[in-house]
């Protein structure tokens, strides 16, 4: 029986941020939001999860990291361990399934790429790199395996024979001759038709390559400024991904920035700074509706690509979010973290974010728990079995209404959530509302904030 279970509407997101509590190995736990359920695959205490990938049929999820330098293959529905692949002598930083799902490629800090038979777990071969491997990707037809490494090189391999077919060499500096990168190639991604390869680098650039010839098509370096005023050509590229239609490229940077680029023109389509830490991973859902981003701010976000707005922002107690990946049917998001947790999250019925006032607040009368049905707010607190009800403001950040207690006292109140969603403040009064706005200060912080 699958361990996923639906979470009722009584568990709601708070101010758009969902705090995840890790319950241990193979445990289900609620993400406080309608339409979410989660399966946590907790590894050993000193394990760090760097990479995650789904098999093409979506039945298997693979993760790689630090601790025994092993790769773990698990059943997507149950979380059961299928097999462990051991052979690397240092961190496994990147993994990718072949299009037919029969082969898994893994790259690591031991300067090798290893090819594995996913059915038997047998090691098929080892490809020796020139430096630490940061990214691997199979071409859509499975005939090429391309890698990017810390030496700034891009290697094209024949995965059947292990022969190195082409290397795009590193330039010594941004001003040196040549077309290659001048720093670590952190991420690579094939266009859906397999004709273009994109590479992102610590030299602040994205490059598009003709897969057949190896020639440079264009270099994308943003000259615009981010919302905070940072020039995009000063931001090191940490991750990239093609959209399912091949028209858009997403990137994530070292300074909390993620962006969307037009593949044909190389022009910037949008730039965002919703994260507060490095953006480590970006992934498009296969249906093209959502972009997922993972960051060192311990969160991952789901972006509506139609509105280009964050529709969900989820805080993960597993620490830095190192990688995100969608299942082939777009219904499950896999997330890996610094503390070694791989979380599988069902997102097939995600709706709009709940109002900011929803949640549990630590106020003077005790924990105040608020929930919303439509534009009506109800809640309770332990002081004389207090009950509240009221009306929700249009922006979901304020409520006004009445309270009553079992001791016979009653009155009214107004409460407003702070812009960061962490504080709530207002007043309450006994009887009718005072004309001068007087009354008891009623305020506090969100219950699960430090």
Element containing residue 39 per DSSP (H, E): strand 37-42
Which of 64, 73, 56 lies closest to 336 in space, CA to CA?
64
- C-alpha dist (Å) from residue 330 to 40, 273, 307, 314: 18, 24, 18, 18
Cβ-based neighbour number of residue 362 at 10 Å: 15
Answer whether 201's CB lies under 8 Å from 184's CB: yes
- C-alpha dist (Å) from residue 294 to 45, 206, 282, 333: 21, 19, 7, 11
Which of 118, 116, 26, 84 lies closest to 342 in space, CA to CA?
26
d(CA 110, CA 150): 12
DSSP state of 14: B
Q: What is the mean pLDDT of residues 353-373?
A: 81
Mean pLDDT for the chain? 83
Sequence ranges of the domains in the chain: 17-346, 359-446
Answer whether 417's CB lies under 8 Å from 436's CB: no
The answer to whether residue 291 scores a pLDDT higher than 60 is yes
The answer to whether residue 1 scores a pLDDT higher than 70 is no
Answer whether 133's CB lies under 8 Å from 127's CB: no
Work out the percent of the chain whose per-residue pLDDT is above 90. 49
Tell me what pLDDT residue 225 has.
63
The answer to whether residue 170 scores a pLDDT higher than 80 is yes
Tell me what pLDDT residue 356 has.
78
Answer whether 388's CB lies under 8 Å from 379's CB: yes
d(CA 231, CA 224): 6
pLDDT, tens only, 200-236:
999 989 999 999 999 999 998 876 666 666 666 677 8
Tell me what pLDDT residue 125 has.
96
Least confident interval from 33-37, 225-229, 342-346, 410-414: 33-37
| 17-346 CATH, one of 3.40.50.2020, 2.130.10.10, 2.40.30.10, 1.10.10.520 | 2.130.10.10
Tell me what pLDDT residue 47 has.
62
d(CA 228, CA 380): 40
Instruction: Give all strands of the β-sheet with 48-54 in edge-to-edge order.
Output: 48-54, 60-66, 70-75, 81-86
Count, in order, helices (H) and strands (E) of the chain: 0, 38
Residue of 385 and 111 predicted with greater confidence:
111
Answer whether 278's CB lies under 8 Å from 256's CB: yes
Q: What is the mean pLDDT of residues 280-303?
A: 92
Burial of 443 (0-12, 13-18, 19+ CB in 10 A): middle
The answer to whether residue 24 scores a pLDDT higher than 80 is no
Tell me what pLDDT residue 226 has.
62
Instruction: Give all strands of the β-sheet with 268-272 in edge-to-edge order.
Output: 237-242, 248-253, 258-262, 268-272
d(CA 209, CA 206): 10
Q: 3-state DSSP call for residue 384?
A: helix
pLDDT, tens only, 246-287:
999 999 988 788 899 999 999 989 888 888 889 999 999 999
Tell me what pLDDT residue 232 has.
67
Answer whether 216's CB lies under 8 Å from 207's CB: yes
d(CA 146, CA 168): 11
Answer whether 31's CB lies under 8 Å from 18's CB: yes
Answer whether 37's CB lies under 8 Å from 333's CB: no
Confidence of residue 6 (pLDDT cuts 50, 70, 90): very low
Tell the residue number behind the tokens 């509590």, with chain if given. Answer: 21
pLDDT, tens only, 373-391:
766 889 998 888 899 999 8
Tell me what pLDDT residue 448 has.
55
Residue 234 phi, psi dihedral angles, 5° rounding: -105, 0
Residue of 381 and 147 predicted with greater confidence:
147
Tell me what pLDDT residue 216 has.
96
Answer whether 194's CB lies under 8 Å from 206's CB: no
Least confident interval from 93-102, 184-193, 253-262, 288-297: 253-262
């Amino acid at each position: 029986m699958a361990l996923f279970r639906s979470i009722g509407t009584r568990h709601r997101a708070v101010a758009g941020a969902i705090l995840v509590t890790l319950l241990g190995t193979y445990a289900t736990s609620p993400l406080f939001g309608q339409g979410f359920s989660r399966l946590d695959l907790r590894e050993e205490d000193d394990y760090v999860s760097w990479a995650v990938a789904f098999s093409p049929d979506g039945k298997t999820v693979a993760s790689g990291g630090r601790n025994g330098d092993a790769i773990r293959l698990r059943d997507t529905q149950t979380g059961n361990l299928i097999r462990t692949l051991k052979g690397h002598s240092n961190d496994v930083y990147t993994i990718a399934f072949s299009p037919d799902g029969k082969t898994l490629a893994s790259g690591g800090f031991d300067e090798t790429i290893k090819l594995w038979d996913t059915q038997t777990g047998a090691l098929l071969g080892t490809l020796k790199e020139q430096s630490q491997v940061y990214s691997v990707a199979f071409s859509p037809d499975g005939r090429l395996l391309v890698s990017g490494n810390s030496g700034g090189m891009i290697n094209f391999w024949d995965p059947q024979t292990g022969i190195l077919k082409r290397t795009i060499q590193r330039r010594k500096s941004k001003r040196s001759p040549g077309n290659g990168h001048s720093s670590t190639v952190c991420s690579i991604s094939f266009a859906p038709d397999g004709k273009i390869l994109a590479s992102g680098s610590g030299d602040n650039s994205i490059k598009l390559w003709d897969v057949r010839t190896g020639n440079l098509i264009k270099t994308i370096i943003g000259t615009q400024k981010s919302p905070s005023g940072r020039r995009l050509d000063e931001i090191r590229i940490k991750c990239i991904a093609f959209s399912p239609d091949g028209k858009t490229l997403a990137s994530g940077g070292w300074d909390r920035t993620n962006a969307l680029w037009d593949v044909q023109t190389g022009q910037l389509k949008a730039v965002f700074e919703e994260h507060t830490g490095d953006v480590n991973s970006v992934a498009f859902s296969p249906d093209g509706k959502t972009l997922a981003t993972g960051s060192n701010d311990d969160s991952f976000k789901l972006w509506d690509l139609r509105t280009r707005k964050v529709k969900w922002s989820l805080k993960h107690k597993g620490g830095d979010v190192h990688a995100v990946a969608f299942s082939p049917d777009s219904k499950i998001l896999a997330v890996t973290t610094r503390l070694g947790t791989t979380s599988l999250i069902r997102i097939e019925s995600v709706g709009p974010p709940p109002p900011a006032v929803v949640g549990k607040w630590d106020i003077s009368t005790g924990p105040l728990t608020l929930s919303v049905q439509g534009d009506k707010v109800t809640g309770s607190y332990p002081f004389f079995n207090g009950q509240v009800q009221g009306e929700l403001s249009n922006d979901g950040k304020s409520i006004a209404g009445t309270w009553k207690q079992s001791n016979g006292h009653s009155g009214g109140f107004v409460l407003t959530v702070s812009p960061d969603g962490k504080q709530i403040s207002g007043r309450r009064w006994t009887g009718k509302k005072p004309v001068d706005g007087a009354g008891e200060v009623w305020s506090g912080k969100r219950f699960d904030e430090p």
